Copies of this chain bind each other. A is one copy, B any other.
Amino acid sequence: MATIKDVARLAGVSVATVSHVINGTRPVAPETAARVWKAIKELDYHPNAVARSLRTRTTHAIGVVVSDITNPFFATLVRGAEDAAIEAGYSIIVCNSDEDLQKEDLYVNMLRRRRMDGLLIAPVRDGASPAVQELAQSGIPFVFVDRKAKGIEADAVLSDNVQGAYLATTHLLERGHTRIGIILGIKGATTTEERFHGYRLALEEHGLPIDHRLVVYGSYRAEGGQEALRALLSLSDPPTAVFSTNNLMTLGALRELRRRGVKVPEELAIVGFDELEWAELVEPPLTVVSQRPYEIGHRAIGLLLERLRDPDLKPREIRVPVDLKARGTT
């Protein structure tokens, strides 16, 4: 593989000149530049970004740790991040933590070894693995997306979860439901807590108490939603409506409803959190609180880039709005 030296030799100039015509870092006589470009073409030369990074101490790469790229929410978030990053000349390395603290730890360290210029992290639980804690000390810029780790001051871009849950619950209350079950995600995650909080706010506003048998925690997977729904339906006085607080669990809940042949919304109303591309295709169409994952990813990169320019910025938190899409299941 050709190096800058080969190009210099072929063009009959020094490596410095080659570097400068490539990067435009200082004026070069037009004929000289032309000779250099010609040599580059001829040798099919691709500048070595690794060497460049070593020298300049910057990789123009951003690490992203999400729980699972297979989840449409994160896929879209990552896409938003990628578009924003590319736009600014950065690349992205994605890692899937699978909601596993160990993996999170592993990946964050790997990304540090690779000298990422910055990181986007959807932290596992309220957690903050050792690696994330150290990261916070290290001075390497990073921003939390979707959730944040407790006790760590850092930039964050999050959905307005409280508002979303409040909207969903209020919507159900307005339809006359008073026994409203809630299916929550991973215990301890900020998303879970905030969504529960919004649910509670709405109930309180209507003077209703919290019935703890109606609040169940699941995993973040479809199976978790399925089990959670089973638990709710097997209560002696089951709810007449359910608020499922994340997309995969909503999928599981719907599967269970269909399996049992439960009539929706007559026997049970249901509202999900997070839009799903097929929400309007199922019968009846699914009512959801929609998030804006693309925007979350995009703006997170925005924050990161700003911090890259000015490391002394104080931490900022962006809340991305959510919308209630009332459809057939409520």
Contacts and interface: CB of A to CB of B under 8 A. Distances in A.
A285 to B, nearest CB: 9
Contact of A96 (B46, B53, B79, B93): B79
A49 B276 CA distance: 39
Nearest to A259: B280
A53 B50 CA distance: 7
Contact of A82 (B1, B96, B138, B222): B96
A283 to B, nearest CB: 4
A94 B96 contact: no
Given A50-B114, A79-B96, A113-B49, A134 B280 contact: no
Interface in A55-99: 59, 61, 68-70, 72, 75-76, 78-79, 82, 91-96
Contacts of A49: 113-115
Contacts of A50: 50, 53-54, 59, 114-115
A273 to B, nearest CB: 16
Contact of A46 (B51, B109, B276): B109
Contacts of A61: 93, 114
Chain A interface size band reads: 35 or more
A301 to B, nearest CB: 14
Contact of A69 (B51, B75, B278): B75
Interface in A89-121: 91-96, 109-110, 112-115
A76 B96 CA distance: 12
A48 B278 contact: no
A282 interface: yes
A110 B91 CA distance: 9
Contacts of A9: none
Given A61-B93, A255-B280, 12 more contacts: A44-B134, A46-B109, A48-B113, A50-B50, A68-B79, A70-B79, A75-B75, A78-B94, A91-B95, A93-B93, A222-B277, A278-B281
A209 interface: no
18 contacts: A46-B112, A46-B113, A47-B113, A48-B54, A48-B115, A49-B115, A50-B54, A51-B54, A69-B78, A70-B79, A72-B75, A75-B75, A91-B93, A94-B94, A251-B281, A254-B281, A278-B281, A282-B283
